């Protein structure tokens, strides 16, 4: 079923943050920072993959993501929904089901045998493809997926994620320079606001997270020097 009527963007952001906190997908630890894929430290970590284990929450968030994309990009804007390997695959499948569209997925790199393909499923020249992923930090990984989609002769001008960090100034410009618009449900600022409202973490931790979100690069550099 295609969802058509849902809360305003700010309420979707709040509810998404609430759900992420409820299933403990959000981790804050200022005393012992997490190490990100980049090798840099962070007092925050989010595990959106965990959402697939919670049917009511995943269904609600996929409704939210579908209606957000249709509101922002158009109700007849796409011909194909592509998931990025691996975290984006289940979410792309659920969005494709809601939008009654074909689903494909994009490998991070060619599989190295057989057709040596990066696109799995049927994607044809001229199709308008929506790339779906679980989250984005700086948008870098999205560009590789977008390029692989465009190599088929299809177009890809939009990507949709559940969670967008929302703390790095160059993310949106970098995506737009590549001809891609980002659609998302919530950011770290939404999660922090809901965590404060719930008193989900102690005040010192929340304050340190806010310091990080306000100036992430400076926070990381200070920690590395320390």
Q: State the CATH number of the domain containing residue 42.
A: 3.40.50.2020
* Contact call for residues 184 and 136 (beta carbons, < 8 A): yes
In angstroms, how far is CA 161 from the centroid of its own chain? Answer: 3
CA-to-CA distance for 183 and 68, rounded, in angstroms?
A: 7
Residue 44: pLDDT over 90: yes
Give a yes or no: residue 3 inside a domain.
no
Give a yes or no: residue 91 inside a domain.
yes
Which residues span the domain enclosing 154? 9-225
> Strands (DSSP E) along 43-102, which ranges?
44-46, 80-84
Give a yes or no: residue 2 inside a domain.
no
Q: Classify burial at 174, counting beta carbons within 10 Å of its beta carbon; exposed 0-12, middle 13-18, buried 19 or more.
A: middle
- 76 three-state secondary structure: coil
Give a yes or no: residue 114 inside a domain.
yes
Number of domains in the chain: 1
Give a yes or no: residue 132 inside a domain.
yes
Arithmetic mean of pLDDT, 73-96? 97
Give a yes or no: residue 4 inside a domain.
no
Phi, psi of 45 (to 5 degrees): -150, 140
Residue 153: pLDDT over 80: yes
Give a yes or no: residue 44 inside a domain.
yes
Residue 17: pLDDT over 70: yes
DSSP string, 156-182: EEEEEEEEE----TTHHHHHHHTT-EE
Residue found by looking up tokens 């659920």 in the block:
94
Q: What is the pLDDT of residues 88-144, one digit of tens each?
A: 999 999 999 999 999 999 999 887 665 668 999 999 999 999 999 999 988 778 899
């Amino acid at each position: 079923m295609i969802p058509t009527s849902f809360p305003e963007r700010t309420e979707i952001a709040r509810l998404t943050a609430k759900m992420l906190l409820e299933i403990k997908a959000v981790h804050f630890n200022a005393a012992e920072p997490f190490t990100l894929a980049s090798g840099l430290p962070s007092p925050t970590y989010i595990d959106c993959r965990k959402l697939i284990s919670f049917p009511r929450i995943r269904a609600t968030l996929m409704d939210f993501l579908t209606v957000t994309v249709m509101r922002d990009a158009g109700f007849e804007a796409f011909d194909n929904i592509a998931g990025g390997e691996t975290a984006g695959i289940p979410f792309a499948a659920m969005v494709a089901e809601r939008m009654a569209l074909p689903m494909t997925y994009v490998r991070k790199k060619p599989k190295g045998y057989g057709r040596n393909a990066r696109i799995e499923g049927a994607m044809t020249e001229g199709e308008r493809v929506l790339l779906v992923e679980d989250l984005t930090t700086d948008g870098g990984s999205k560009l590789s997926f977008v390029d692989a989609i465009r190599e088929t002769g299809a177009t890809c001008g939009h990507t949709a994620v559940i969670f967008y960090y929302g703390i790095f100034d160059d993310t949106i410009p970098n995506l737009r320079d590549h001809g891609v618009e980002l659609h998302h449900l919530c950011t770290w600022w939404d999660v922090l606001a809901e965590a404060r409202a719930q008193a989900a973490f102690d005040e010192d931790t929340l304050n340190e997270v806010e310091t990080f979100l306000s100036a992430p690069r400076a926070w990381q550099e200070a920690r590395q020097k320390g």
